[in-house]
Structure 1
């Protein structure tokens, strides 16, 4: 028994020691490997590294070595000598390109090997942002890692990190029909209601940058498709009937071009191999991806460009439904705030939705006004969903479609009115009907915004002039000629 008590703690101590040895931190081992060198400046460490000889020549020639002065910590990604030798001659006579190239290999702060699947985005001194993931930096693998100096660390990598153009830089240098149109928006406003110019941002009025995607931004990732010149022109001509803008031919054609390019940019970054079968544009247009139509692809600092040898986006895909949410009114014909309710309801399938109900307000023909984005010049089928679930009676309401712009009233020039486009007849709001109700069709002759107006019954009797709306849905129709 006495011998047993002596051996038990001894065995436990041995086990603890074994666990400590087997669970040692690899970074502790790394620190021991660099023992005696951690107080040495990063530049001196790089000078002693055989595989950094060629990179150090460029570092000195560019003057960027002065940045590594010990006042801040940096991470230097050093391409192998052979990789630098392959590009050095192309940089010899361009001081600006040389500096940009060297800075694209240096990141602020220290970044050790990232072997996880989590992408770390590193901002380089060049201003470019590179993805650091799965033991790679921008696709370059590591041959030597985490070499510490007093003011930073360096890694040896298998490829050069040549600074790529951003999508905006590429568009500015390659002015084919599609890109030239995007650049024209720097000075040409598609619509009369342009944003006031900002002296600090010359491109504020460019509708593509403002409304589709700011492709100047290095922190974002994009996929952009480009049509050849003939196809871009043909697509714009084909879509022209849907964007008749005040019968102005030039403006209408420019707007048609815009509606082609706006659905060619996506906020995700996909190379050709990883493109999904379908993408969804910011305007909810489904974009079918046909990889066989991609003739070539270009990698950018903030995305990919894929060049198409034929159009792949059918016009019916672009004619997406327009929804007007009932609980988001633009205004009322009378003050009824105390009798206006935004309700949360659950449909028979368990889905929650929010609607508006204006009840017991005592106003005859009360109107609730809404507004839409610009809509295509075509015919529309119109539906509503309006839930009557708290009253025991059926009531009626109607929808009118009015122009967005106002004009002086003929009877009273001081008063502004909106021209009527179409008014649907009064329609019953049946009890506990969760289904859409078809109201009818109207035609919008001009590409413009509209003002849908929900109007109650022409009575002051409470219960009979109630208004309720979950949403209006406008379904654009394909032109047949």
Structure 2
């Protein structure tokens, strides 16, 4: 074995030397390639010498944008070929602002070499728009000449113009005559709920609930897909959903909430062209949106996404009726302080899945309550389930769930004391030992679209082990109305 080792040693060394000679290139050659096209000439002078840049340079100078390229900062200019510039100029409005924005949409701060990888680089142009730079293309325009560098920047010749597109917010404003867009814009002035934040003079639209809660479609650095219904279909969808958003029997408020409940599930935070749309999308509120491409009558590409116009509704009401979960380990409060007896646990179910729960044990309080709150829930009937793991006691104990209104009212006995009206209280239910199964508690009807306050209550005893409370989650399953 030792003799074989001595024979192989020089052979391995020779192979390594050969590999190094083949695999490693001269660092000066690498340096030369990195600086290909680099001169000490200013970027503007280099562009003036580029024959395919002549049409773009005319507009650059007549628009006054050339003054930005003054050598004080580095820029990358994406120059459309002359033929594409001539075609674009024929349809470009003859007003200074439009032409300045057009030119600025071809210029990015700093230097950006050709990106031939599959990784998308998002470039912010001087126009304020953000363009995708990926796979030897920028915003879909290919490169016919690349990486031409001057002393203060770089330019590429591209095969198409980079006309500034509207953002989704600009699109909505430009199509404000459509009911769906008009409603979203109305939220600039009208608040659906009494949850408005403090007015910010820097952001007039801060209280628009669609922008704040669903997606800030003004943002050029995010991607969106937005489906829009024609007026008659939008009106029909709202009318169909009104029974689920009864708000204190107030018709105007209920109708406004109904509109919001429709539009909030028409926006998705990824950009999909019609060809690339998946069969199913998931909205920000976890509503499954089935995609029927045959229902799309028009698609509009935006600077931050896509708009798809639907010629019919594709989202069934039942899809919007999603379950509401209340996590046991996330209480809103307790009827009494029992911190020393409260345990937030991590458990593993028989399928190997970890979960968190809460257990309050040996606390010495009769009818102890853990109070929770939910997001706004639809006005319909709910089936209610819990999962509660009794795995550390040898006995079975009981607990119950009560459903109370979220809004408080003055007590009839003492007007200075506020109380919550009871909606429904389920009977005490056994928490069996070592059961990981959901337990069905029953159903209750929620007459008003609103939040609710579920309360988990222990047995009316101070005996340790008999007044334990434990909860992984409560699940509220909304039922579809039959008429």
Q: Which runs of 5+ in 1 are unaligned?
A: 1-8
Q: Secondary structure at the match of 1:327?
A: coil
Structure 2 CA distance for partners of 1:389 and 1:10, relative to 1, 3 Å? closer
Structure 2 counterpart of 1:291: 293
The separation in 2 between residues aligned to 1:15 and 1:416, in whole angstroms, is 82
C-alpha separation in 2, matches of 1:243 and 1:137: 45
Q: 2:220 aligns with which of 213, 218, 221?
A: 218
**Counterpart position of 2:165:** 164
CA-CA distance at 1:29 after TM superposition: 3.1
Describe the SS at the equivalent of 2:325: strand
Q: Secondary structure at the match of 1:211?
A: helix
SS in 2 for 1:44: helix
Equivalent residue, structure 2, for 1:361: 363
Q: Which residue of 1 aligns with 2:175?
A: 174
> Which residue pairs with 2:145 in the alignment?
144
Partner of 2:250: 248
- CA shift, 1:90, in A, is 3.7
Which stretch shows the higher mean deviation, 430-439 or 90-99?
Answer: 90-99
Sort the Cα spacing of 1:99 and 1:396 in 2 relative to 1 into closer, same or farther, 3 A: same
**Residues 284-343 of structure 1: CA distance to partner in whole angstroms, max 9, x if unpaired?**
000000111111100000000001111000000000000000000000000001110000
| Deviation, structure 1 residue 22 | 9.1
The aligned residue for residue 6 of structure 1 is none
Equivalent in the alignment of 2:340: 338
Residue number in structure 2 paired with 1:457:
459
- Where 2:253 maps in the other structure, the secondary structure is helix
Q: 1:75 to 1:393 in 2, by over 3 A?
A: same
What residue number does 1:65 align with? Answer: 66
Cα drift, residue 197 of structure 1: 2.3
Going from structure 1 to structure 2, the CA distance change for 1:325 and 1:18 (only over 3 Å counts) comes to closer
Provide the C-alpha distance between the structure 1 equivalents of 2:181 and 2:110, rounded to a whole number of angstroms.
37
Out of 279, 296, 316, which is 2:318 matched to?
A: 316
Distance 1:146 1:410, change over 3 A: same
Cα offset, 1:17, TM superposition? 6.2
Once superposed, which parts of structure 1, at least 4 consecutive aligned residues long, lie more than 4 Å away? 9-27
Distance 2:268 2:30 in 1: 41
Q: Which residue of 2 aligns with 1:108?
A: 109
Residue 129 of structure 1 is matched in structure 2 by 130
Q: CA deviation at 1:12?
A: 10
- What stretches of structure 2 of length at least 5 have no aligned partner? 1-12
Tell me the TM-score normalised to structure 1 length: 0.95
Q: In the superposition, relative to structure 1, how do residues 14 and 443 fare at CA in structure 2: closer, same or farther (>3 Å)?
A: closer
Alignment of 1:341-352 (within 5 A): 341-352=343-354
Match of 1:377 in 2: 379
**Aligned-residue offset at 1:195:** 2.6
The CA deviation at 1:89 is: 3.8
1:222-237 equivalent positions in 2, closer than 5 A: 222-237=224-239
Task: Tell me by how many angstroms 1:16 deviates.
Answer: 6.5
Count of residue pairs the alignment pairs up: 470
Number of the residue aligned with 1:47? 48
For 1:429-448, what per-residue CA distance to the aligned partner results, in whole angstroms no more than 9, with x for missing partners? 00001000000000000000
- Distance in 1 between residues matched to 2:55 and 2:73, nearest whole Å: 24
- Please state whether the residue corresponding to 2:444 is helix, strand or coil: strand
Q: CA RMSD in A?
A: 1.9
C-alpha distance in 1, partners of 2:16/2:233? 77
Alignment CA distance shift 1:463-1:10 (3 Å): closer
Residue aligned with 2:239, SS: helix
Mapped to 1, the partners of 2:439 and 2:100 lie a distance apart of 65
* CA spacing shift, 1:26–1:162, aligned 2, 3 Å: farther
TM-aligned CA distance change 1:83 to 1:415, over 3 Å: same
Judged with a 3 Å threshold, the aligned counterparts in structure 2 of structure 1 residues 226 and 10 are, in CA distance, closer, same or farther, namely: closer
Summarize the Cα distance change of 1:70–1:397 in structure 2 as closer, same or farther, 3 Å threshold: same
The match for 2:194 is 192
- Measured in 2, the distance between the counterparts of 1:21 and 1:341 equals 63
